[in-house]
Chain A
Amino acid sequence: MTLRAPFKTAVLVLIWGWMLLFVLVPNLLVIVTSFLRRDDVHFIRWEATLDNYLRLFSPDYAAVFAHSFYMALVTTVLCLLIGYPFAYLVSRYRAAMKPYLIFLVIVPFWTNSLVRTYAMKLLIATNGLVNQALLGLGLIDEPLRMLYTEGAVIAGLVYVLLPFMILPLYAIFEQLRSDLLEASADLGAGRWQTFYRVVLPLTMPGIIAGSLLVLLPAVGMFYVADVLGGAKNLLIGNIVKNQFLDARDWPFGAAASLLLTLAMGVLLYAYYLSVKLIRRPETHAALA
Chain B
Amino acid sequence: MNGTGQTIIQLQGVGKSFGGREVLPPLDLDIYHGEFITLLGPSGCGKTTLLRLIGGFEQPDAGRVLLAGSDITDLPPNQRPVNTVFQSYALFPHMTVFENVAFGLRAEQRPEDEIRTRVAQVLAMVQMRELADRKPDQLSGGQQQRVAIARAVIKGPRVLLLDEPLSALDYKLRKQMQNELKRLQRELGITFVFVTHDQEEALSMSDRVVVMREGVIEQIGTPRNVYETPANLFVARFVGEINVFTAHVLETVDTERVIGEIEGERHELRTHGKSFPAGARINVLLRPEDLRLLPADAPQGLPGQVIERNYKGMTLESLIRLDSGQELLASEFFDEDDPDFDYRLGERVRVTWVPNWEILLPDDTARAV
Q: Which residues of A sit under 8 angstroms from B151, Cβ to Cβ?
A: 183, 187
Q: Which residues of A sit under 8 angstroms from B176, Cβ to Cβ?
A: none
Contact assessment for B77 and A177 in the assembled complex, using a CB-CB cutoff below 8 Å? no
Of A5-13, A132-140, A148-156, A280-288, the one touching chain B: A280-288
Q: 8 Å CB contacts to A: which residues of B16-66?
A: 55-57
Number of interface residues of B (CB under 8 A): 34
Q: Which residues of A sit under 8 angstroms from B366, Cβ to Cβ?
A: none
Q: Which residues of B sit under 8 angstroms from A184, Cβ to Cβ?
A: 92, 103, 107
Number of interface residues of A (CB under 8 A): 26
| Cα distance, A188 to B108, chains bound together (Å) | 7
Give chain A nearest CB distance to B18 CB in angstroms: 13
Contact assessment for A182 and B135 in the assembled complex, using a CB-CB cutoff below 8 Å? no
Q: 8 Å CB contacts to B: which residues of A189-204?
A: 189-190, 193, 197-198, 201-202
Q: Which residues of A sit under 8 angstroms from B179, Cβ to Cβ?
A: none
Contact assessment for B86 and A183 in the assembled complex, using a CB-CB cutoff below 8 Å? yes
Give chain A nearest CB distance to B90 CB in angstroms: 4
Contact assessment for A286 and B141 in the assembled complex, using a CB-CB cutoff below 8 Å? yes
Q: Which residues of A sit under 8 angstroms from B152, Cβ to Cβ?
A: 186-187
Contact assessment for A286 and B89 in the assembled complex, using a CB-CB cutoff below 8 Å? yes
B232 within 8 A of A: no
A42 within 8 A of B: no
| Cα distance, A201 to B140, chains bound together (Å) | 23
Q: 8 Å CB contacts to A: which residues of B321-364?
A: none
B280 within 8 A of A: no
B278 within 8 A of A: no
CB < 8 Å: which of B57, B82, B144 contacts A286?
A: B144
Closest to B140 in A: A285
Contact assessment for A183 and B84 in the assembled complex, using a CB-CB cutoff below 8 Å? yes
B301 within 8 A of A: no
| Cα distance, A248 to B87, chains bound together (Å) | 66
| Cα distance, A265 to B82, chains bound together (Å) | 49
Contact assessment for B78 and A182 in the assembled complex, using a CB-CB cutoff below 8 Å? no
Task: Indicate with 1 or 0, residue by residue over B101-134, a CB within 8 angstroms of chain A CB atoms.
Answer: 0011011100000000000000000000000000
A32 within 8 A of B: no
B298 within 8 A of A: no
Interface centre among B83, B94, B140 (most CB of A within 10 A): B94
Contact assessment for B90 and A180 in the assembled complex, using a CB-CB cutoff below 8 Å? yes
Contact assessment for B89 and A187 in the assembled complex, using a CB-CB cutoff below 8 Å? no
| Cα distance, A202 to B90, chains bound together (Å) | 13
Task: Indicate with 1 or 0, residue by residue over A253-270, a CB within 8 angstroms of chain B CB atoms.
Answer: 000000000000000000
Task: Indicate with 1 or 0, residue by residue over A167-183, a CB within 8 angstroms of chain B CB atoms.
Answer: 00000000001011011
Q: Is the interface of A mostly helix, strand, loop or mixed?
A: helix
Q: Which residues of A sit under 8 angstroms from B107, Cβ to Cβ?
A: 184, 187-190, 193
| Cα distance, A54 to B106, chains bound together (Å) | 52
A247 within 8 A of B: no
CB < 8 Å: which of A186, A197, A285 contacts B144?
A: A285
Give chain B nearest CB distance to A11 CB in angstroms: 34
Give chain A nearest CB distance to B61 CB in angstroms: 20
Task: Indicate with 1 or 0, residue by residue over B228-272, a CB within 8 angstroms of chain A CB atoms.
Answer: 000000000000000000000000000000000000000000000
Contact assessment for A287 and B168 in the assembled complex, using a CB-CB cutoff below 8 Å? yes
Q: Which residues of A sit under 8 angstroms from B55, Cβ to Cβ?
A: 186
Contact assessment for B57 and A182 in the assembled complex, using a CB-CB cutoff below 8 Å? yes
CB < 8 Å: which of B103, B140, B145 contacts A187?
A: B103
CB < 8 Å: which of A180, A186, A201 contacts B84?
A: A186
| Cα distance, A278 to B155, chains bound together (Å) | 27
A187-B94 contact, Cβ under 8 Å, with A177-B88, A282-B137, A285-B144:
no
Q: Which residues of A sit under 8 angstroms from B83, Cβ to Cβ?
A: 186-187
Contact assessment for B78 and A189 in the assembled complex, using a CB-CB cutoff below 8 Å? yes
A284-B76 contact, Cβ under 8 Å, with A278-B94, A279-B94:
no
B93 within 8 A of A: yes
Contact assessment for B141 and A190 in the assembled complex, using a CB-CB cutoff below 8 Å? no
Q: Which residues of A sit under 8 angstroms from B94, Cβ to Cβ?
A: 201-202, 278-279, 281
Contact assessment for B90 and A182 in the assembled complex, using a CB-CB cutoff below 8 Å? yes
| Cα distance, A184 to B155, chains bound together (Å) | 13
Interface centre among A184, A284, A286 (most CB of B within 10 A): A286
| Cα distance, A180 to B84, chains bound together (Å) | 12
Q: Which residues of B sit under 8 angstroms from A185, Cβ to Cβ?
A: 56-57, 76-78
A180-B141 contact, Cβ under 8 Å, with A188-B107, A189-B107:
no
| Cα distance, A185 to B86, chains bound together (Å) | 13
Closest to B108 in A: A188
Q: Which residues of B sit under 8 angstroms from A187, Cβ to Cβ?
A: 78, 83, 103-104, 107, 151-152, 155
Contact assessment for B90 and A188 in the assembled complex, using a CB-CB cutoff below 8 Å? no
CB < 8 Å: which of A189, A193, A202, A284 contacts B88?
A: A284
Closest to B139 in A: A285
Q: Which residues of A sit under 8 angstroms from B79, Cβ to Cβ?
A: 188
Contact assessment for B92 and A183 in the assembled complex, using a CB-CB cutoff below 8 Å? yes
Closest to A278 in B: B94
Closest to A284 in B: B88
| Cα distance, A201 to B99, chains bound together (Å) | 14
13 pairs, A vs B, C-beta closer than 8 Å: A179-B86, A180-B92, A182-B86, A186-B82, A186-B84, A187-B155, A188-B108, A189-B103, A190-B78, A202-B93, A279-B135, A281-B137, A282-B93
Q: Which residues of A contact B (CB under 8 A)?
A: 177, 179-180, 182-190, 193, 197-198, 201-202, 278-282, 284-287
Q: Apart from A189-B78, A285-B137, list 20 A-B contacts with CB within 8 A.
A: A180-B92, A182-B86, A182-B90, A183-B90, A185-B77, A185-B78, A186-B77, A187-B78, A187-B83, A187-B104, A187-B107, A189-B107, A190-B107, A202-B94, A278-B94, A279-B94, A281-B137, A285-B141, A286-B88, A287-B168
Closest 5 CB pairs of A and B: A281-B93, A187-B104, A183-B90, A286-B168, A179-B90
